[in-house]
Amino acid sequence: MTSEGQSRADFRSDTVTRATPGMRQAIADAPVGDDVYGEDPTVNALQDRIAELTGKESALFFPAATQSNLAAVLSHCQRGDEYIIGRNYHILINEVSGTAALGGAAPWPIEVDENGSFTPEAVRAAVKEPDQHHPVTRLLCLENTVNGSAQSVNLINDLADTARDCGLAVHLDGARLFNAAVALEVPVADVLAKVDTASICLSKGLGAPMGAMLVGDSASITRSFRLRKMLGGGMRQIGHMAAAGMYALDNNVDRLVEDHQNAALIADGFRQVEDLGVRQATNMVWLTPPAEHHDGLTAHLAADGLLVCPWKPTMRIVTHLDVGTEQAQMLVDSVQNFFNQV
């Protein structure tokens, strides 16, 4: 940290954003009702808007994307069923095994490439043949972005077509779906055209304090509505937070390109230093310093008041609406200064 003990910029995640004055005003002014009774007008307006925006029949507001992903998987799978998923996808490794612990649905991970992608052939090979010894494969779980890497519309469509041909439903974890759509320069509806359900986080790049949307066909959302209540996600005058989501859609989608540009600025600056492994995708930069300098660089950045995820061997840096070009350059300068001194 700096001598004042304050961070100058926080690159740990796009979840650290704080509501802007305009969003705070929208939160305060929102008309509300009891959402468990379906009477919150702001929630209903957000759900209708997201459904139309994504080209789906229905949408449902959740407290968080972990819960919306869980409800989606359980809406497609019964206890003892299996779902196919990329080996490093969030539902598998970062959601506390909720699908197995709470729903009895077993994941079958498949390998991904450096962009987080897998092939239709891998999906087909993972589907279990009908046999009393095997679980029934019910669902394919996709993700977009995967660690920042946008998955193309053609790939998502090919995977969904394969799943359908194998008798599977398709759920997409779109925590950063708008980042993917902006990077691909396509409407979000195009990315989701062939999936049954998708979860969209409002509290990452979109900058809301909380919330996620689950979109899909009416039958899946109806099942998820009951599951949301079972999982403790039934909320009352939650229109205040739905208003933050509405504000985010109005103000924070088009600006995501700025986060991608700042991430590219950071990556380009890092590439000026020899022996650094650097990869950038949308709003994420992955930095792999020489192992002998990892701890020293971590301490140096902390002393400079620059917060990153100092994972080993590869650090993660995430840009967001609370990080501008000045802060991005500050991080580049700090890393370059460190390596100029070692």
Domain match, 220 and 300 both? no
Q: What angle do CA 74, 78, 81 make, to 5 degrees?
A: 105
- pTM of the shown model: 0.95
Q: Looking at residues 167-195, what average pLDDT do you find? A: 98
Domain match, 244 and 260 both? no
Domain match, 168 and 274 both? no
Paired tokens of 313:
């061997």
Domain count for the chain: 2
Domain match, 147 and 115 both? yes
Domain match, 277 and 238 both? no
Of 251, 277, 308, the residue at which a domain comes to its end is 251
In the chain, pLDDT over 70 holds for what percent of residues?
Answer: 99
By CB atoms closer than 10 A (0-12, 13-18, 19+), residue 79 is: exposed
Q: Looking at residues 75-99, what average pLDDT do you find? A: 97
pLDDT score, position 6: 73
1 inside domain = no
Q: Looking at residues 141-154, what average pLDDT do you find? A: 98
Domain match, 334 and 234 both? no
Confidence of residue 229 (pLDDT cuts 50, 70, 90): very high
Question: Whole domain around residue 228: which residue ranges?
Answer: 31-251
Domain match, 231 and 180 both? yes
Of 251, 279, 296, the residue at which a domain comes to its end is 251
User: Residues 214-223, buried b or exposed e (16+ Cβ, 10 A)?
Assistant: bbbeeebbeb
Of 251, 283, 312, the residue at which a domain comes to its end is 251
56 inside domain = yes
pLDDT score, position 3: 45
Asked if 68 and 212 touch (Cβ cutoff 8 Å), the reply is yes
Q: Looking at residues 214-218, what average pLDDT do you find? A: 97
